[in-house]
Structure 1
Amino acid sequence: MSEFVIDPRVAAQVAEHRYPLLFATISGAHLYGFPSPDSDFDIRGAHILPLHDALGLWPDKHDTVQVSGIRDGLEIDLVTHDLRKFFGLMLKRNGYVMEQVFSPLTVLTTPEHAELKSIASQCLTRHHVHHYKGFFHTQWKLFEKERPRRVKPLLYTYRVLLTGIHLMRTGEIEANLVTLNNEFRLPQIPDLVARKLAGPEQSTLPEADVTFHESECQRLLTQLEAASDASHLPDVPTGSGALNDLLVRVRTGLRSQ
């Protein structure tokens, strides 16, 4: 992956967040390795509610912050969760938040973010396979129902299958499809990525190619299930205590200097 340069408009959006942030990273097509010229920037992260809000009657009112819009011509979608909610999602089979924690496209980081990455490795389980299988079925249904067929949901389908297989085999999160294909070497991926990068977002696929891609995705789904069965990942996360300790320290102001 080439060096990530933060767009000043993205940095400005993060800097204006109403709460302090533990981290903010880029997700979506930029993380997955195939942003087209008109792709928006998906900013994800974890914010820190002050004690007044966290301990009040309505903490849920503030546990998610979402800002979407156009900033100086750049489409930005920002979503962050308060630490308590974010950490809770990490203890479930939620691949999205894990990919956000480990995203190398970092807009804002802290010493606690580095600590969180270490703890996150203790929260990965073989049951994360259900997240990736579910995401696969969602993306494939989207691809199937559209006419003409778009390259974008097909790339998302391949990406989620390869990320899931890689996780089950290695215990590590890798969300970039181009990087993953250095391992899997699927000959169709470079062409699909090139179509997407050429833009616009509505890049289409010849109908004659659909049968091939359906067969390939079913083959990879079988590999994902087999990788899950053979995985050395634990059945339950082991990082809950460390997450709780980090939450208490950050919430009470005992943060790293």
Structure 2
Amino acid sequence: MHQHILHTLKELAAEKDVTLLYACETGSRAWGFPSPDSDYDIRFIYRHHRNWYLSLATQKDALSLIKNDLDITGWDLKKSLLLLKKSNIPLIERFQSPIVYYAAPGFKQEFRQLIRAYYSPIAVFFHHHSLVLKFRETCRPGIPFKLKGFFYMLRSLLSCNWILHDDTVPPMELEKLLKYTSPRISKTILRLVALKATKPESYDHKGATSLFNRLDGLFEQLEASRSALKVNNSNMDLLNHYFINKLNDPTYD
């Protein structure tokens, strides 16, 4: 499947006359809790030829393709850098993915250095916090709930917990996010991960009352501790310098 995905990405890049810089898996396959019928959520970054960026016209800065079980979305380099300035978490997470389909020489390392400079714990915290609130409404003990929604809520809750304990960007994989939870909670969660691997996306689960009680306690701790979080770097100089260097790099033209 890896080679099939890479071939599809290269075909799309050739069709649109862009240069592929980075491509990875996101979603449940990268997060570590796929179902047997999970799609492949593929995200990539690309760049145009230098003259494309000199046009006075506003141009499309994203590409997408749905093909069978492949869900593919790409962002232009300039768009990606502007989103990084805002500490955009979907972008940042792509460089934490354990499944990388392609990386141009040096690009992943360069971009991760930029992430370290522009990562904003408070912005990422509130992104995940909003997802916790969204999925918490539909995932409660005593009523059937989708494991997919539960794991979205859980992963965001654990990411918030990570941010309050660690200066680094939260990892993408759920199992790594368990680092700052109790062994008892971790064991229960991993049992549910194993269950989800055997069930279709439509499966309704019921139970886990004791786990919900512990997660509610964790949520209350996060609510009480979030005020100490840091903001990000607001200076654009580093991003501008990187972007100009990439446009002037003859490797890509």
The answer to whether the superposition gives a TM-score over 0.5 is yes
CA distance, structure 2, for counterparts of residue 45 and residue 164 of structure 1: 25
Partner in structure 2 of residue 222 of structure 1: 220
- Offset at residue 48 of structure 1 (A): 0.4
Residue 246 of structure 1: how far off its partner (Å): 1.4
Q: Which amino acid aligns with 1:11?
A: L
Picking from 109, 118, 133, the partner of 1:123 is 118
User: Residues of 2 paired with 1:153 and 1:255: CA distance?
Assistant: 43
CA contact (8 A) 1:48 1:83 kept: yes
Pick closer, same or farther for the CA change 1:167–1:81 going to 2, 3 Å: same
The reply to whether residue 201 of structure 1 matches residue 195 of structure 2 is: no
RMSD: 2.4
CA drift at 1:197: 0.4
Structure 2 CA distance, aligned partners of 1:230 and 1:36? 37
- Alignment match, 2:94: 100
Name the counterpart of 1:53: 52
Residue by residue over 1:107-152, the C-alpha shift from the partner in whole angstroms, topping out at 9 and shown as x without a partner, is: 11121221110110111123221111112222234546xx841111
3-state SS of 2:117 partner: helix
Alignment-derived partner of residue 81 in structure 1: 75
What TM-score do you get using the length of structure 2 for normalisation?
0.84
Instruction: Tell me the residue number matched to 2:21.
Output: 22
Q: How does 1:172-251 map to 2 (within 5 A)?
A: 172=168, 173-184=170-181, 185=183, 186=185, 187-206=187-206, 208-209=207-208, 211-231=209-229, 234-237=230-233, 240-251=236-247
Identify the range of structure 1 (88-97 vs 26-35) with the bigger mean alpha-carbon deviation. 88-97
Residue 165 (structure 2) pairs with residue 166 (structure 1): no
Structure 2 equivalent of residue 10 of structure 1:
5
Residue in 2 aligned with 1:40?
39
Shift of 1:153: 0.6
Count of aligned pairs:
240
Q: Specify the alignment match of 1:3 in structure 2.
A: none
* TM-score calculated relative to the size of structure 1: 0.83
What per-residue deviation string (whole Å, max 9, x for no partner) do you get for residues 186-231 of structure 1? 232012111210121122211x44x545433332323334553344
Structure 2: distance between partners of 1:46 and 1:101: 11
* 8 Å Cα contact 1:164-1:224 kept in structure 2: yes
CA pair 116-34 structure 1, distance change in 2 beyond 3 A? same
* Cα pair distance change 1:240/1:7, threshold 3 Å: same
CA shift in 2, pair 1:83/1:196, >3 Å: same
Q: Could you tell me which residue of structure 2 aligns to residue 113 of structure 1?
A: 108
1:157 Cα deviation after fit: 0.8
Stretch moving more, 95-104 or 46-55: 46-55
Give the partner amino acid of 1:158: L
The Cα shift of 1:38 comes to 1.0
Deviations 1:153-190 (A, max 9, x none): 10111111112221332122212112222442323201
SS at match of 2:23: strand
Unaligned runs of 5+ in 2: none
Q: Is the 8 A contact 2:10 2:20 kept in 1?
A: no
Give 2:97's aligned amino acid. Answer: S
**Structure 1, unaligned stretches of length 5 or more?**
1-5
Paired with 1:223 and 1:31, the residues of 2 have a C-alpha distance of 28
